[in-house]
Amino acid sequence: MTVRPAAADDASRCAQVSDTRSAEELKALLGQPDVRWLVIEDDTGRVVGIGIIHLWRWNGVAWTWDLQVDEQERRKGYGTALLKGMIDAAREMGAKVLMDFSDSRPSDLILLYLKNGFRICGTNDRMFPREKDPTGVYYGYDL
């Protein structure tokens, strides 16, 4: 498996993996200086995951915008490798912390973060007002 910077040619495949971004949106990220779009490939070179981070230079916090692995490829180590690549990229960008948030329901994403050294660093009880439980949980990793 290989983590690498994404290219425009990766946009269509990444849009299939990500349920939040279109190929056009992904291509537009390539020109943004404070955004890093990464992919992870399997041993055949097929993209099986996408990771995007955005650095807020004013406070040194990098935010995870997207971290997804193809459903058929989960639990094979791709998420961990991609997250480690995102941590390295955030550090290279000059970030002091890598952050993300999720709803409060148990999930593989939360377990992935906690298993890799992220800690819960806050909540927002109005983050998801359309949900039965509107609470958002923040996770941080000190770089």
Q: Which of 102, 110, 107, 125 is nearest to 135 (CA)?
A: 125
Encode the chain (143 residues) as per-residue pLDDT tens digits: 999 999 999 999 999 998 888 999 999 988 899 999 999 999 999 999 999 999 999 999 999 989 999 989 999 999 999 999 999 999 999 999 999 999 888 888 899 999 999 999 999 999 999 989 999 999 999 99
Q: Which residue range is the domain that position 84 belongs to?
A: 2-142
CATH of the domain at 107: 3.40.630.30
Q: Are 18 and 66 in contact (CB under 8 A)?
A: yes
How confident is the model at residue 107, as a pLDDT?
A: 87
User: Mutual orientation of helices 78-93 and 108-115 as an angle, nearest 10°?
Assistant: 60
Q: How far apart are CA 49 and CA 43, in angstroms?
A: 13
| C-beta of residue 47 within 8 angstroms of C-beta of residue 36 | no
Tell me which residue of 29, 142, 53, 31 sits closest to 96, measured CA to CA. 142
Question: Given this model, what pLDDT does residue 82 score?
Answer: 97
First to last CA, the chain: 24
Tally of domains in the chain: 1
